[in-house]
């Protein structure tokens, strides 16, 4: 049985990804090993959304109207409320409440929430921690062109965590994440991981991964 992959590494740098509420994230990834590891190493949560949220001071409140919008079914607001429960920003930290709100948004098809829900499964926070469920929600967001989820799904494919181990698919998703990254730092990060993977692939497999990225289009009904 392989070791758990749901561990976090110290964060090296934080930035803003935009697009509503985000969970605390880690941007530092270890280099890919030169040879396939005999046991699956701990995966970093670079597949987390790209912002590091700092818990608010005691007594802070939710922004006016946010909870009301979430209760009315607004997916963006639901994801924001969930991320705040996760981090303890304006509300007591509560993983179960975080998962409840984020799931409500994810089930409406909101890509950042789908990615957040995958991260909760990946980290075993408020939901059962299973790689397959993490991969399922990452994939749902990745199919909508959400770059952090595409990068995360690619990394899962490298190691076969919750998905088949497939370096061509991994390359494709990392390449797509690189193309859709929201800032230059993140583009360099994804490019580095993609290139490290390519060094372990045959030239033909790397070309096939790039060809699939060129041909990829979001489905009409993700």
74 CB contacts (<8 Å, ≥6 apart)? none
String of b and e for 9-45 (b: at least 16 CB within 10 Å)?
A: eebeeeeebebbbbbbbbbebeebeeeeeeebeebbb
Q: Which two tokens stand for residue 184?
A: 């230059």
Average pLDDT, the chain: 80
Question: What span, in angstroms and rounded, lies between the C-alpha atoms of 190 and 196?
Answer: 10
Phi-psi region of 126 (alpha: psi -120 to 50; beta: other; left: phi over 0): left
Q: Read off the pLDDT of each residue in 167-193 and give the average, rounded to a whole number.
A: 96
Q: Which two tokens stand for residue 114?
A: 């789908």
Taking every pair of Cα atoms in the chain, the longest distance, rounded to a whole number of angstroms, is: 58
Beta carbons of 89 and 61 less than 8 angstroms apart: no
pLDDT category at 124 given cuts 50, 70, 90 is very high
Q: Report pLDDT digits (tens) over 61-80.
A: 899 999 999 999 999 999 99
- Residue 20: the pLDDT is 52
A 10 A CB-CB count for 122 gives 29
- Residue 22: the pLDDT is 55
Q: Report pLDDT digits (tens) over 100-123.
A: 999 999 999 999 999 999 999 989
CATH architecture of 45-215: Alpha Horseshoe (1.25)
Q: Write down the domain spans for the chain.
A: 45-215
Instruction: Reply yes or no on whether the pLDDT at 27 is more than 80.
Output: no
pTM of the full structure: 0.76
């Amino acid at each position: 049985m392989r070791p758990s992959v749901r561990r976090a590494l110290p964060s090296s740098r934080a930035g803003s990804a935009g697009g509503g509420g985000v969970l605390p994230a880690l941007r530092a990834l270890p280099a890919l090993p030169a040879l396939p590891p005999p046991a699956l190493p701990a995966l970093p949560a670079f597949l987390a959304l790209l912002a590091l949220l700092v818990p608010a001071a005691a007594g802070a409140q939710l922004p006016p109207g946010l909870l009301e919008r979430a209760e009315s079914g607004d997916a963006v607001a639901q994801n924001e409320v969930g991320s705040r429960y996760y981090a303890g920003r304006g509300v007591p930290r509560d993983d179960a409440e975080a998962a409840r709100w984020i799931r409500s948004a994810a089930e409406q098809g909101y890509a950042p929430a789908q990615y957040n829900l995958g991260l909760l499964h990946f980290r075993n926070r408020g939901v059962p921690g299973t790689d397959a469920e993490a991969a399922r929600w990452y994939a749902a967001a990745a199919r909508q062109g959400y770059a952090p989820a595409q990068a995360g799904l690619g990394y899962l494919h490298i190691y076969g965590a919750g998905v088949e181990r497939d370096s061509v698919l991994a390359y494709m998703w990392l390449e797509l994440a690189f193309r859709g990254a929201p800032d230059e730092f993140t583009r360099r990060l994804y490019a580095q991981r993609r290139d490290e993977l390519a060094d372990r692939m045959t030239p033909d497999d790397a070309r096939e991964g790039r060809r699939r990225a060129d041909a990829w289009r979001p489905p009409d009904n993700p």
